[in-house]
Amino acid sequence: MRFGRITANPAQMGGVPCIRGLRIPVATIIGLLAQGMSRAQVLTDYPDLEPEDIEEALRYAAAATAVAVDERQLPLVASA
C-alpha cells in the first residue's frame, strides 16, 4: 500500500512518520482521535491539515497495526 501523504525524513522529527512533511506525526493525529477528539476539531487545532490527511493517517495506522499483530504472537485473555 502506498501512502502519498505520509513522509518519514530522518532529518525531521527523528524519522517519525509525519503528514506531508509537516512536523505533525501520524501518531499525534491517531492519538487525538483515539482520545475522542472529532476530525473537525483536529482540523481546527491543526489548520495545516486537510481532511485527506486524517483519512490517510488512519489507513497508515491500520496497516502498521496489521503488520505488528501479524508479526507477533500476543497472549490472549480467555473469556469467561
CATH of the domain at 18: 1.10.10.10
Q: Give the DSSP H or E segment for 48.
A: none
The reply to whether 78 falls in a domain is: no
**Angle value at C-alpha 52, between 46 and 54, nearest 5 degrees:** 55
- Grid cell of 25 as nine digits: 506525526
**Angle value at C-alpha 1, between 57 and 45, nearest 5 degrees:** 10
Q: Tell me whether residue 72 is exposed, middle or buried, using C-beta atoms within 10 angstroms of its C-beta: 0 to 12, 13 to 18, 19 or more.
A: exposed
- Reported as a pLDDT band with limits 50, 70 and 90, residue 75 is low
What's the rounded Cα separation, in Å, for the pair 48 and 12? 17
Domain count, the chain: 1
Using one digit for the tens of pLDDT, what is the confidence trace for 3-45?
999 999 999 999 999 999 999 999 999 999 999 999 999 999 9
The reply to whether 70 falls in a domain is: no
